[in-house]
């Protein structure tokens, strides 16, 4: 393999590339790397392959394993943040004054906190995302972009992509490289977490409810996790917020029933963006779920623990030590992955951040409290946005982060109805975590797999679901 991850002789062979394109697309379809189409997003009759790279992309072995090894610490960190109302109140105090969506989530959190607290079972399925930074020159370092505590996607499809790339490499006569692609099955690991929480809930009749969007393009990613549950004889239903509002109720023990079925777990694959809440009915359904005894994945406090503002607060000196007072090695492992993160709160610290960003905008990313890809602000746009609100509390709805500078590679990105061309690419590594806590006891805490996404360097932001990045696999080097 060349430094860019594609064999030099393959790069020069246009006929072979065209043949590999056809082989790769068929391999993806045969192995179930699928999405529904934009034109018919809810039709199972019309599907295509999910966007993916023709070749796997090189990832340094030491950094890959560093990301895997720190994941169980991030699982514990998220869980401890979710149990610390004082920290959440402090961290989000300024944000909820200016960001309506975070404020609405916090309103639900406060309403639930006013009721008697019973914490029998807590389930977390998250994904920590990283890029490999080379801004300092020399060796690359692992830098966390964000941690997703709600609806962390592509655990299903990324379970199927290793075989696709192995097959492509064999056809390209790169058998040795095909053997370097690791097995990867996040779907099974995420399902193990769901199954353990379902078992601890303690009712064989109760169902796992996937709370889903009305547009179902990425349904097969979810189906892989769902089918792992059916294999274990755990029943699954799929509902939307409006279905819960219409057919949901709590009994005197706060057990949640939807359409007459007791719900053991609510697995949120929706609810992370303002537009997911179509009306006040959606918010009423969310509150009903949060008030119930059902295991929420995530519960409202864990959802808030994944906000950008919390990420920025964790980077302050001494904050991680609050959560791991007797574990300096854990603190060091987590902190080693942090990029520079800066507050935009009103006051001297926030003013310094504004001045820093305006003087050198290409070195930073401006991040709002939003998930789903395509929300971040870069370059001269940072100046335009900050100039418009630098003396206003509006700025506290954002954080500023150092822009990670990865080393570009080259790859062919396969998308339905898009011409094949060699692109200069950037990759992002995601690591899936699953944990289950019963009362004070952590009964499961695992790193359950990984995800590599690659995009053309001409795009500053955006994931696979946003239509920018494609699925990929790490080729460890």
Note the pLDDT tens digit of each residue in 317-333: 999 999 999 999 999 99
pTM to 2 decimal places: 0.95
Catalytic residue among 21, 80, 335, 372: 372
Known binding-site residues for substrate equal 127, 150-153, 216-218, 222, 269-272, 453, 464-465
Helix, strand, coil percentages (3-state) for the chain, rounded to 5, are 40, 25, 35
Q: How far apart are CA 427 and CA 97, in angstroms?
A: 35
Q: Is the pLDDT of residue 6 over 70?
A: no
**Got the DSSP string for 191-215?**
HHHHHHHHHHHT-TT-EEEEE--S-
H or E segment and range at residue 471: strand 470-472
DSSP bridge partners of 297: 267
Domains with residue ranges and CATH for the chain: 8-339+404-476 (no CATH), 340-403 (3.30.1490.50)
Note the pLDDT tens digit of each residue in 80-130: 999 999 999 999 999 999 999 999 999 999 999 999 877 689 999 999 999
Distances (CA, A) of 372 to 59, 276, 465, 477: 24, 11, 8, 30
Whether 127 sits among the annotated catalytic residues: the reply is: yes
Check residue 1 and give its pLDDT.
Answer: 40
Whether 453 sits among the annotated catalytic residues: the reply is: yes
Mean pLDDT value across residues 336-340:
96
Whether 371 sits among the annotated catalytic residues: the reply is: yes
E-strand ranges in 134-254 read 141-148, 207-211, 236-239, 248-250
Chain centroid to CA 206: 27
Note the pLDDT tens digit of each residue in 220-252: 999 999 999 999 999 999 999 999 999 999 999
Whether 153 sits among the annotated catalytic residues: the reply is: yes
* Buried residues in 397-408 as b, exposed as e (16+ CB within 10 A): bbbbbbbbbbee
Quick one: tokens of 69?
A: 């090894």
Whether 143 sits among the annotated catalytic residues: the reply is: no
Known binding-site residues for ATP equal 146, 308, 367-376, 378, 428, 455, 461
Residue 245 contacts residue 281 (beta carbons within 8 Å): yes
Note the pLDDT tens digit of each residue in 357-390: 999 999 999 998 877 667 889 999 999 999 999 8
């Amino acid at each position: 393999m060349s430094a860019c991850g594609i064999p030099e002789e393959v790069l020069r062979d246009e006929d072979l590339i065209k043949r590999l394109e056809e082989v790769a697309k068929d391999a993806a379809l045969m192995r179930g790397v699928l999405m529904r189409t934009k034109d018919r997003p809810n039709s199972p009759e019309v599907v295509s392959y999910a966007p993916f790279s023709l070749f796997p992309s090189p990832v340094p072995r030491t950094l890959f394993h560093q990301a895997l090894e720190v994941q169980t610490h991030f699982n514990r960190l998220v869980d401890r943040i979710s149990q610390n109302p004082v920290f959440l109140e402090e961290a989000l105090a300024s944000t909820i004054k200016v960001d309506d969506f975070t404020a609405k989530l916090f309103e639900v959190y406060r309403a639930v906190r006013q009721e008697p607290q019973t914490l029998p079972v807590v389930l977390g399925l998250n994904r920590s995302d990283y890029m490999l930074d080379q801004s300092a020159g020399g060796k690359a370092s692992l830098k966390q972009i964000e941690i997703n505590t709600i609806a962390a996607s592509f655990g299903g499809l990324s379970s199927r992509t290793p075989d696709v790339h192995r097959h492509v490499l064999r056809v390209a006569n790169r058998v040795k490289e095909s053997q370097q692609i690791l097995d990867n099955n996040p779907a099974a690991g995420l399902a193990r977490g769901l199954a353990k929480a379902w078992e601890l809930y303690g009712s064989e009749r109760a169902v796992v409810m996937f709370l889903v969007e009305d547009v179902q393009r990425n349904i097969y990613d979810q189906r892989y996790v769902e089918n792992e549950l059916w294999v274990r004889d755990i029943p699954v239903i799929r509902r939307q917020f409006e279905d819960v509002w219409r057919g949901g109720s709590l009994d005197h023990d706060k057990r949640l029933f939807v359409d007459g079925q007791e719900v053991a777990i609510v697995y949120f694959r929706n609810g992370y963006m303002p537009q997911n809440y179509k009306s006040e009915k959606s918010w009423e359904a969310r509150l009903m779920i949060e008030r119930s005894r059902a295991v929420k994945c995530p519960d409202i406090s864990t959802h808030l623990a994944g906000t950008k503002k919390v990420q920025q607060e964790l980077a302050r000196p001494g904050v991680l030590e609050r959560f791991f007072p007797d574990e300096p090695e854990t603190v060091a492992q987590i902190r080693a992955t942090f990029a520079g993160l800066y507050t935009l709160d009103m006051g001297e610290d926030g003013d310094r951040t504004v001045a820093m960003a305006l003087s050198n905008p290409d070195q930073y990313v401006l991040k709002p409290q939003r998930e789903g890809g395509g929300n971040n602000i870069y370059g001269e746009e940072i100046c335009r946005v900050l100039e418009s609100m630098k003396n206003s509390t509006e700025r506290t709805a954002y954080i500023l982060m150092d822009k990670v500078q990865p080393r570009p590679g080259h790859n062919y990105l396969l998308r339905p109805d898009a011409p094949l061309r060699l692109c200069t690419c950037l990759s992002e590594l995601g690591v899936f975590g699953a944990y289950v806590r019963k009362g004070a006891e952590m009964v499961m805490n695992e790193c359950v797999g990984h995800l590599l996404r690659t995009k053309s360097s001409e795009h500053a932001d955006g994931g696979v679901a946003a239509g920018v990045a494609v699925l990929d696999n790490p080729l460890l080097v």
